[in-house]
Chain A
Amino acid sequence: MFKSSLKIVLGTTVAVSLAACGGAGGPGGGSEKISDGKLVLGVLNDQSGPYKDLSGPNSVEAVKMAVEDWKAAHKDDAVTTDIEVITADFSTKPDVANTKAQEMYDRENADIILDVPNSAAALAVATQAKNKKRVYINVGGGTSALTGASCNKYTFHWAYDTYMLANGAAKSVTDSGGKTWSIVYPDYEFGQASDKLYTGAVEAAGGKVIAHIPTPFPNENFATFITKAQQGNPDVIASMHGGGDLANFFKQYQQSGGDKSTKVVGGVVFLSDIKSIGAEPLKGMQFTDSWYWNMDKEARAWADRFQEKVGTRPTAINAGNYSAAYQYLEAVQEAGTDKSDDVVAKLEGKKINDIFLRNGEIRAQDHRVIHDVYLAEVKDPKDIKEDEDFEKIVTTIPAANAFRPLDQSECSM
């Protein structure tokens, strides 16, 4: 009897001490605090369609860089070093994004999904994040519904949104003397929404929109619309077009010998657009940018490392993915676990400065990440000294003024 109790006591002691050792974990091993012993970061974006250059494979590389950098920064104290980056291409199909997101969360145990540059797809993935209670950080998508009517506890919006794009350029250009505007927009839902947003922002800044000019979408010949836009000699002509339409519009605008004193503004422009169109037709165009690789030393240093690895300069979305992945890992480290609720609690309200975010803050109320954004201008090709150095930062728009104020958000979590 005594013998057997001793056995039990001994056995229990051994077991407990073993468990304790195991729990402490060797460096590099996963611990119980991390589900399945490892962190899985899923990057879901467009790797074969129109957003490939904006985000795509280069964003996957950026996330991998973030993981490496984070591991290097937390050599010994890292909560886990077993971190996997998985990726899938939804090639702009929202239903594929929806299925893939479920698969990543359910089957591949992704702790977080990043990116998703398409409005409908982004909102569908946000719903999945809410249902599965896992973290989702959108970087490449623009719809401000993610932090508006469709916001939820597990979804964050990192780099930019349509509100900020319109607000940034409209306000700073109006403030610098562009009082009267003509807005030319593609006549479909996105264009109409951009027109409304710009009009609101221009009027709020004390300017006036004297002409709203819808164009067919897609469109080749903009001559009549350009003439209409020039009537009444506006200070600013803004085009809400994207991609091929953007190129056509500005080429034809230059050919029409537009008044040099008239400013031109692009509603939705990214570095990848300028790269594919070329600087010549777009020179002098101003637009809102959330980040530019040559905007300061810190961004530049990271862009150099990025170029070494990928062979090209990063877009704002690439950098945003790096930043989002890195800050997620930081939050996991602080929480000591990958449990979504704990990680979200660490992310909410966090103030961040990194290679991408300047004066950044993750707003706890709607999960909009606010940060300094910039009014950028496309350089004249004559002034471009370095490959891919297309942009000049005109002004910095402080974080507090750049994004939609909380009282205008329909978000309730």
Chain B
Amino acid sequence: MSEHLVGTSHLETAATAAPERRERAWARPLYLLLALLLACALPWFIYPPIALDILCWGLFAISVDLLLGYTGLLSFGHAAFWGSSAYITGIVAIETGMPFPVAILLGALAAMVIAVPTGWLAVRSTGIYFAMVTLAFAQMLYFVANRASGLTGGENGLQGIPRPFFGMELIETEAFYFYYAALPLIILGCFIAWRTVHSPFGRVLLAIRDNPARARALGFDVEGYKIVVFVISAGIAGVAGGVFSSGHGFASLNDLMWTTSGKAVLITVLGGIGTLWGAMVGSGILVTLEDYLTTLGFEGIGIVTGTMFIVIVLLFRRGIWGSVQQAWHWALGKARLRWG
């Protein structure tokens, strides 16, 4: 019954979206190629460790957007998954010396495992309550990590995380080369998010976001869908957190702090909720801005990012990427009217 309905809704959306898709058939590969080129060129223009930070925070924000933009759930505790994967990745790399992608994937897996009970409890609530339950879980994990200093190093953090990669020394030591070695993992994370959104499953999520009662009436297991997307999102956040701790060579309690969750939400809103790629744009802007402000001797970094947040929320509800998209479509429409 339920499967049949999924199929139907998919057909319907495909049908309604058909004309649009045809005219954009050439555009999508082009955009993807451009994005890939940009990602490859980034460390030539930006200091490589910062370029990697941009990708990590971007992917992390994409995982938040998957919940916030496509399922209507504001998670304020995503640091739990980012941070736990950061630690597990580090522990695996230190203890076993496995290649870093394996360590990161194991870290992401651990984040997904943690997400199952969290999600199971959290999805029973919505809105601010959902945010609070996720926040509570993240805080709990923060204190657990603080207490378990034998495993996590407590205040000192888990230091000296290696990034073994089949003895290729450049990748293991140079941030520039590590960037390219880690890029496929980031792309994998983006792909999973994109595939989730553009699947029948993703359509159901949209339905749940817009009208959970009707989705339930149509026979969808609303909670079940929410848990699944919550776990997927945690996995993506885990990939981002794992790459982050491998790149930096350490994991710290900061990775589990609520401010880390807040930063991910901030980046998502900045880039544009429900745009996926907007998260990367938001991350690029926020990370480079923060990096720039650290050397200015200016005391109020929070004031600048906070003001930016307020302006975006008040004036550009679609975020930076959403607004650019809107302007682009508007310009395209104008051009079409003029030149047919």
A residues sitting closer than 8 Å to B (CB atoms) are 47-48, 52, 57, 60, 86-96, 98-100, 102-103, 106-107, 119-121, 123-124, 127, 131, 143, 145, 150, 188-190, 192-193
Contact A99 B250 (CB under 8 A): no
List of B residues within 8 angstroms of A91 by Cβ: 294, 301
**CB <8 Å contact, A87 and B53:** no
Are A98 and B248 in contact (CB-based, < 8 A)?
yes
Q: Which of B140-163 contact A (CB under 8 A)?
A: 143, 146-147, 149, 153-157, 159-160
Q: Which residues of B contact A60 (CB under 8 A)?
A: 297
CB neighbours (8 Å) of A124 from chain B are 157, 159, 248-250, 252
A-B contact pairs, 28 of them (CB 8 A): A86-B295, A88-B294, A89-B293, A89-B294, A90-B294, A94-B252, A96-B291, A102-B175, A106-B47, A120-B156, A120-B157, A120-B159, A120-B252, A120-B253, A120-B254, A123-B156, A124-B248, A124-B249, A127-B249, A145-B156, A188-B143, A188-B146, A189-B146, A189-B147, A189-B154, A190-B155, A193-B154, A193-B155
Cross-chain contact B252 with A95 (CB below 8 angstroms): yes
Within 8 A of A (CB), among B232-257: 244, 248-250, 252-255
Q: What residues on B are CB-neighbors of A88 within 8 Å?
A: 294-295
> Contacting B300 at CB < 8 Å: which of A48, A94, A102?
A48
CB of A101, distance to nearest CB on chain B (Å): 10
**Chain B residue at minimal CB-CB distance from A128:** B249
Residue of A nearest to B157 (CB): A120
Complex Cα distance, B297 from A57, in Å, reads 8
Contact B149 A189 (CB under 8 A): yes
Q: Is the CB of A47 within 8 A of B146?
A: no
Whether B297 and A123, one on each chain, are in contact in the complex, defined by CB atoms closer than 8 angstroms, is no
Where the two chains meet, the residues of B that have a C-beta atom closer than 8 Å to any C-beta of A are: 47, 49-50, 53, 143, 146-147, 149, 153-157, 159-160, 173, 175, 244, 248-250, 252-255, 290-291, 293-295, 297-302
A372 CA / B189 CA spacing, docked (Å): 55
A102 touches B157 (CB 8 A): no
Residue in A86, A100, A127, A190 whose CB lies within 8 Å of B159: A127
**Chain A binding surface, main DSSP class:** helix
- Expressed in whole angstroms, the minimum distance between the Cβ of B252 and any Cβ of chain A is 4
Determine which of B143, B160, B252, B300 lies in contact with A127 in the assembled complex, contact meaning CB atoms within 8 Å.
B160
- Given the complex, which residues of B lie within 8 Å of A189, measured CB to CB? 146-147, 149, 154-155
Say which residue of A47, A98, A143 sits within 8 Å of B249 (CB atoms): A98
CA distance A87 to B298 in the complex (A): 11
Q: A188-B143, A188-B147 are in contact. Are A89 and B249 (CB under 8 A)?
A: no
State how many angstroms separate the Cβ of B293 from the closest Cβ of chain A: 8
Question: B263: nearest residue on chain A (CB-CB)?
Answer: A93
Question: Which are the 6 A-B pairs with shortest beta-carbon distances?
Answer: A189-B154, A120-B157, A120-B252, A94-B252, A48-B299, A189-B149
A106 to B176, CA, bound (A): 12
Q: How far is the CA of A262 from the CA of B253 in the complex (A)?
A: 37
Q: Which residue of B lies closest to A57 (CB)?
A: B297
Residues in chain A near residue B300, CB distance under 8 A: 48
Assess whether B50 is in contact with A99, with CB atoms less than 8 Å apart: yes
Chain A's nearest CB lies how many Å from the CB of B208? 35
Of B47, B147, B154, B291, the most chain A CB neighbours within 10 A belong to B154
Given A120-B155, A188-B146, decide whether A99 and B291 contact each other with a Cβ distance below 8 A.
Answer: yes
Cβ–Cβ < 8 Å partners of B252 in chain A: 94-95, 120-121, 124
Q: Which of A57, A86, A107, A119 is in CB contact (< 8 Å) with B155?
A: A119
CA distance A94 to B256 in the complex (A): 12
- Chain B residues lying within 8 Å of A193, measured Cβ to Cβ, are 149, 154-155
Whether the pair A93, B254 counts as a contact (CB closer than 8 A) is yes
CB-based contact B297/A87 at 8 Å: yes
User: Which of these, B154, B155, B250, B294, contacts A100 with CB under 8 Å?
Assistant: B294
Q: Are B157 and A94 in contact (CB under 8 A)?
A: yes
Which residues of chain A have C-beta atoms less than 8 A from B301's C-beta?
Answer: 48, 89, 91
Chain A residue with the shortest CB-CB distance to B300: A48
A101 closest partner in B (C-beta):
B49
Which of B155, B295, B302 makes the CB contact (< 8 A) with A87?
B295
Q: In the complex the two chains form, what is the Cα distance from A107 to B176 in whole Å?
A: 13
A47 cross-chain contacts in B, Cβ below 8 A: 297, 299
* Chain A residues with CB under 8 A of B49: 98-99, 102-103
A103 to B248, CA, bound (A): 13
Kindly report which residue of chain B lies nearest to residue A142, judged by CB atoms.
Answer: B155
Distance in Å: Cβ of A94 to nearest Cβ of chain B: 4
A89 CA / B295 CA spacing, docked (Å)? 6
A193 to B150, CA, bound (A): 12
20 other contacts beyond A106-B47, A107-B47, A120-B250, with CB at 8 A cut-off?
A48-B298, A48-B299, A52-B299, A89-B297, A89-B299, A91-B301, A95-B248, A95-B255, A98-B250, A102-B49, A119-B156, A123-B156, A123-B159, A124-B157, A124-B248, A124-B252, A127-B159, A150-B156, A188-B147, A189-B147
Asked if residues A99 and B249 are in contact (CB atoms below 8 Å), the reply is: no
B248, B294, B298: most-surrounded residue (chain A CB, <10 A) = B294
B253 neighbours in A (Cβ, 8 Å): 120
Q: How far is the CA of A91 from the CA of B304 in the complex (A)?
A: 14
| A residues in contact with B254, CB < 8 Å | 92-95, 120
> Measured between C-beta atoms, what is the minimum distance from A228 to chain B in Å?
21
Contacts of A143 in B (CB 8 A): 155-156
Most chain A Cβ neighbours within 10 Å, of B53, B295, B300, B302: B295
Cα distance A258–B298 in the bound complex, in angstroms = 44
